Homo-oligomer: A and B are copies of this chain.
Amino acid sequence: MLITEPILLLDKEKCLRNIKFMAEKAVRHNLIFRPHLKTPQSAEIAKWYKEFGVTKITVSSLKMAEYFASDGWTINWEDITIAFPVNILQTDRINKLASKINLNILIACEDVMETLNKEITSKVNFFIKIDTGYHRSGIELKNIEEIESILKKADKSKLIFKGFLAHSGHSYNAKSLEEIQAIHNYSLDVMRELKSTYLDDYPDLITTIGDTPSCSLMENFEGIDEIRPGNFIFYDLAQWKIGSCSLDKIAVAMSCPVISKNKERQEILVHGGGIHFAKDVSSLEDGTPYYGLVVNLSDKFNTGWEIPESKSYVRSLCQEHGVIKASDELYSKVKIGDRIGILPIHSCMTADCMKKYYTLAEEEINMLKY
């Protein structure tokens, strides 16, 4: 295979191990496992989850729900949750999709109810978005009267209440396991409280949480019925930094052609920039910002990559350029025209930029195109 441009490598075995780990954890804790497919965004990869018993999925947009529900794909999901608060401009498309599949939408505030009651004509399930401290969207427990009001208004509509959905996205910024634990515990407290308040009136309601750090690291899910992690299938350096995974679990790596070398600065220029990696940044132990970590690509394509002893990292990204601060070992070994493997900071964003994967078996895997 002659590839002359930056590509995104995908180690299927690692993905399968990551899915297996999470699927088994869900079984162990008696949880519904509804993976978030905003990470791989691929109907092909979606099939891999099925092997581990997954029948329900999460997506982050109506477009993505339409893609995974499309007749063109051989996958028929039991139901799909759009874990992004409903966009009231899209009620027509929601009706259309909900007439074909079991669709769950997300309601994050009471103000959308009037439009939904008027315009939703298909049977649609909904979750109420609960803000457990991330403060991006949703209703805090202290504003329980807004929840009451949503439920009351939904009573006269086609909308069927399915439960409470939270995403403690602030766990991605946690500095320690204790901090993740504290975030997770608060989330459990809130969801238990809501469940005990509403279970009598809605005996089928479920509670669902989603962040990869909590789902990866925690072992107490009391009061939770469902988990929706997404990133865990690939993991990445951001997850590694907060302890959600080891480096050898990261299942995607950019492969970038070496363009030039600078001896004085011991730097390597690769083709691979912000339009390939996305611009997510993390920091090394000493606080230096960085955009990716170099791995050793095997000579044989199908054997993947290995973590080197001495660290080399991407120090800057422009539109098409990546500049690598190279270890002595990397600098002396690499030649112009070689390819360098680089683990991404945020795999969801990198995958979204690249729009295509190459497995180690040299198969191309396509993603949703926008």
A370 at the interface (CB under 8 A from B): yes
A351 to chain B minimum Cβ distance, whole angstroms, is 10
Q: Pick out which of these stretches binds chain B: A202-210, A215-223, A237-245, A315-323.
A: A315-323
A348 at the interface (CB under 8 A from B): yes
18 further A-B contacts with Cβ under 8 Å, apart from A109-B262, A136-B318, are: A2-B89, A4-B89, A4-B93, A5-B61, A38-B319, A38-B320, A84-B271, A85-B269, A87-B271, A88-B337, A108-B259, A109-B261, A112-B260, A135-B262, A137-B262, A137-B269, A137-B321, A278-B278
Task: Assess whether A349 is interfacial by the CB under 8 Å rule.
Answer: yes
For A280, the chain B residues whose CB sits under 8 A away are 274, 279
The CA-CA distance from A161 to B249 in the complex, in Å, is 48
> Does A153 touch B at the CB level, under 8 Å?
no
How far, in whole Å, are A5 and B62 apart by their CA atoms in the complex?
10
Number of copies of this kind of chain in the complex: 2
Interface bin, chain A: 35 or more
Given contacts A85-B269, A260-B108, contact A348 B336 (CB under 8 A): no
B60 touches A260 (CB 8 A): no
On whether the beta carbons of A111 and B260 are closer than 8 Å, the reply is yes
Tell me whether A246 is interfacial, beta carbon within 8 Å: no
Residues of B within 8 A of A25 (CB): none
Kindly state whether residue A355 has any CB partner on chain B within 8 Å: yes
Question: Is A74 part of the binding interface, using a Cβ–Cβ cutoff of 8 Å?
Answer: no
A60 touches B352 (CB 8 A): no
The 7 closest A-B pairs by CB, nearest first: A4-B89, A279-B279, A109-B260, A108-B260, A88-B337, A4-B90, A275-B352
A152: CB under 8 A from chain B?
A: no
Q: Is the CB of A259 within 8 A of B137?
A: yes
Q: Which residue on B lies nearest to A322, using beta carbons?
A: B136
Q: Does A118 contact B (CB under 8 A)?
A: no
A269, B115: Cβ atoms under 8 Å?
Answer: no
Given contacts A4-B87, A109-B261, A259-B137, contact A352 B93 (CB under 8 A): no
Nearest CB in chain B to that of A3: its residue: B89
Q: Does A169 contact B (CB under 8 A)?
A: yes
A63 at the interface (CB under 8 A from B): yes
Q: Contacts A278-B278, A320-B38, A336-B109: A5 and B63 contacting too (C-beta < 8 A)?
A: yes
